[in-house]
């Protein structure tokens, strides 16, 4: 039994345990008996915590990737460690700098600032895999020299035939090891012919790997499920599992917190760690984010990328809060956290190993909570800029914007909701409201008589004088108006709401009416805002045919006009 040493790294050591039935390994031209079991064992924490998020720049940042980044960030910050960003861009055909830039923007927008990585630097760079090829070649050659890997000259056709034969025999499609025991002369002959070759890692024929996953507990694999695998392609490009292992080891990564879909990669990576003499980090494999139908969350379920949610009007703090709760909780019923509170509460032990359901409605609700918790000044700035950018207002600030945000904020869950909220307030859908079944009781409560008195009050200037005085003046006028009609409560306020706003529901009627009055005088509304002024509203009121509305469902009951007989 031995513990490996190498680049400083906290976590899981690798023990090589001899077993009874030996297998043969060609090592530096000599035959050695080798069959072992690799076990992961906890070792005392002696070095600093270092975690990494390593996305591939082949598309947008998915919410699953964002949650993985968040868990790494929270773990590092809660432990006083380092959060490293590494770009895994070895897929030369699909990786683009545009995607990388978008990833960096999304992470920055979420507030997940990295301690080392692109744009920041650090002592373990470069932080793009495409810039680390010399390092991969160095370690691949080391493995070749020590006999842990060998050159494989098999063509693609030969490899396909191996797969077909294995399939016919109902065996795993693993490499048969044709070149594993080739002589130096056979290898030199192929090299002289310049036959393309890959580097294949020698996998023990018997034995097992066992790790203690920080989320899933004990996980094990048998070596006989894995054939000798490629670590360097024939074009000189390293394979993913080899890159990741070399990078994590040489960057002194102490804990690898990643998605559960990477769990099968652990076997290959552990073998490479052992062969290079590097201690393994501790692993924590996070569950997948699932759609409501419990399938893997994908584009067919709607928005799935951070960039999309940003465009839809979500706040970064709401996204962070919601993603943290997908598979983690602090044991309380609290659901509302700032990122600082998450850092304080987060522990990897409380991450759930079962899949988490992504609920768009819950995310929207949470965003509304965060939005309304913002200081009013900040909320006004965000919403005001939104209204100006969409062309509704000509100015993003001022008293009208401040009062509008104060009035409408309770009905806004997303920043983009502010557009509809303002448009609704400025509109006057009187005819549609009067024709609706819900308005029938109001209509039958002598709404036409209230309308006639209201028109008289407007024409006489009483209503405008009250609006000019503000909230207090309007309150006095409403009370006096109700007294003159012998109405109060719902019998007074519902008819006034319908007649003045054109709607049955909405925010505080008095505040809304004052804002409509101000909108007609402040000059900040753009022509395309759809604003209906008070003058236009009362013009529409004068044109309403009350009797046809009242008796539209029962035209037989409509009063018959009495003809006037002229003498």
Query: Which tens digit of pLDDT belongs to each residue from 305-328?
Result: 999 999 999 999 999 999 999 999
* Residue 173 confidence (pLDDT): 74
What is the pLDDT confidence band of residue 184, given thresholds at 50, 70 and 90?
very high
* Residue 554 confidence (pLDDT): 54
Cα 425 → chain centroid: 32
> Which residue among 161, 299, 420, 539 is the active-site one?
299
What is the pLDDT confidence band of residue 549, given thresholds at 50, 70 and 90?
confident
What is the pLDDT confidence band of residue 95, given thresholds at 50, 70 and 90?
confident
Does the structure show a pLDDT above 70 at 239? yes
What is the pLDDT confidence band of residue 41, given thresholds at 50, 70 and 90?
very low
Mean pLDDT within 482-490: 94
* Other Cβ atoms within 10 Å of 466 Cβ, number: 23
User: Using CA of residue 401, residue 407, residue 412, residue 418, what is the dihedral sign?
Assistant: negative
User: What percent of the chain is modeled with pLDDT above 70?
Assistant: 88
Q: Which residue has the tokens 């029938």?
A: 440
How many whole angstroms separate alpha carbon 268 and alpha carbon 280? 12
Does the structure show a pLDDT above 60 at 169? yes
What is the pLDDT confidence band of residue 563, given thresholds at 50, 70 and 90?
low
* Residue 21 confidence (pLDDT): 29
Q: Which residue has the tokens 């530096």?
A: 28
**Is-catalytic flag, 299?**
yes
Query: Which tens digit of pLDDT belongs to each residue from 513-524?
Result: 999 999 999 989
Mean pLDDT within 89-103: 87
Collapsing DSSP to helix, strand or coil, 112 comes out as coil
* Residue 27 confidence (pLDDT): 33
Task: Quickly list DSSP for 415-461.
Answer: TTHHHHHHHHHH---HHHHHTSGGGHHHHHTTHHHHHHHHHHHHHTT
Mean pLDDT within 363-379: 96
Does the structure show a pLDDT above 50 at 15? no
How many whole angstroms separate alpha carbon 204 and alpha carbon 128? 32
How many whole angstroms separate alpha carbon 281 and alpha carbon 272? 13
Mean pLDDT within 354-358: 91
How many whole angstroms separate alpha carbon 554 and alpha carbon 540? 24
Mean pLDDT within 47-74: 93
Does the structure show a pLDDT above 80 at 129? yes
Average pLDDT of the chain to the nearest whole number: 87
How many whole angstroms separate alpha carbon 480 and alpha carbon 547? 27
Query: Which tens digit of pLDDT belongs to each residue from 274-292?
Result: 999 999 999 999 999 998 8
Does the structure show a pLDDT above 80 at 40? no
What is the pLDDT confidence band of residue 11, given thresholds at 50, 70 and 90?
very low
Pick the range with the lowest mean pLDDT from 167-171, 264-268, 340-344: 167-171
């Amino acid at each position: 039994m031995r513990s490996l040493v190498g680049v400083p790294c906290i976590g899981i050591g690798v023990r090589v345990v001899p077993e009874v039935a030996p297998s043969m390994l060609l090592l530096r031209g000599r035959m050695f008996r080798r069959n072992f079991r690799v076990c992961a064992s906890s070792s005392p924490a002696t070095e600093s915590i270092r975690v990494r998020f390593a996305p591939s720049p082949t598309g947008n940042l998915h919410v699953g990737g964002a949650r993985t980044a968040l868990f790494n960030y929270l773990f590092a910050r809660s432990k006083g460690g380092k959060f490293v960003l590494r770009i895994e861009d070895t897929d030369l055909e699909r990786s683009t700098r545009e995607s990388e830039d978008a990833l960096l923007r999304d992470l920055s927008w979420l507030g997940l600032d990295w301690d080392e990585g692109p744009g920041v630097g650090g002592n373990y760079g470069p932080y793009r895999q495409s810039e680390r090829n010399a390092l991969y070649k160095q370690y691949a050659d080391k493995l070749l020299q020590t006999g842990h890997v060998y050159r494989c000259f098999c063509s693609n056709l030969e490899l396909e035939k191996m797969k077909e034969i294995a399939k016919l025999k109902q065996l795993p499609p693993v490499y048969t090891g044709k070149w594993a025991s080739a002589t130096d002369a056979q290898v030199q002959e192929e090299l002289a012919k310049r036959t393309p070759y890959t580097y294949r890692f020698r996998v023990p024929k018997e034995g097992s790997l066992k790790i203690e996953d920080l989320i899933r507990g004990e996980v094990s694999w048998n070596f006989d499920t894995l054939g000798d695998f490629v670590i360097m392609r024939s074009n000189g490009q390293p394979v993913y599992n080899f890159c990741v292992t070399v990078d994590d080891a040489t960057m002194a990564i102490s804990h690898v917190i990643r998605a559960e879909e990477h769990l099968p990669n652990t076997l290959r990576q552990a073998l490479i760690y052992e062969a290079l003499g590097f201690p393994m980090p501790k692993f924590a494999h996070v569950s997948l984010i699932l759609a409501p139908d419990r399938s893997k969350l994908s584009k067919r379920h709607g928005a799935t990328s951070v960039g999309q949610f940003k465009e839809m009007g979500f706040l970064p703090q709401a996204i962070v809060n919601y993603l943290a709760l997908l598979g983690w909780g602090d044991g309380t019923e609290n659901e509302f956290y700032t990122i600082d509170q998450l850092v304080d509460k987060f522990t990897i032990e409380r991450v759930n190993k079962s899949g988490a359901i992504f609920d768009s409605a819950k995310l929207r609700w949470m965003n509304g909570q965060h939005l309304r918790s913002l200081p009013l000044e900040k909320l006004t700035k965000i919403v005001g800029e939104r209204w100006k950018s969409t062309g509704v207002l000509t100015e993003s600030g001022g008293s009208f914007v401040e009062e509008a945000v104060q009035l409408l904020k309770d009905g806004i869950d997303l920043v983009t909701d502010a557009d509809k909220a303002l448009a609704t307030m400025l509109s006057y859908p009187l005819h549609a409201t009067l024709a609706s079944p819900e308005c029938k009781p109001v209509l039958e409560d002598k709404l036409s008589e209230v309308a006639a008195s209201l028109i008289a009050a407007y024409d006489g200037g009483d209503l405008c004088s009250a609006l000019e005085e503000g909230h207090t003046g309007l309150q006095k006028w409403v009370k006096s108006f109700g007294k003159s009609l012998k109405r109060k409560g719902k019998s007074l306020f519902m008819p006034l709401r319908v007649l003045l706003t054109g709607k049955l529901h909405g925010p505080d009627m008095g505040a809304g009416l004052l804002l409509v009055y101000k909108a007609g005088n402040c000059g900040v509304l753009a022509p395309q805002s759809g604003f209906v002024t008070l003058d236009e509203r009362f013009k529409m009121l004068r044109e309403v045919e009350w009797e046809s509305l009242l008796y539209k469902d029962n035209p037989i009951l409509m009063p018959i006009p009495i003809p006037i007989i002229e003498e």
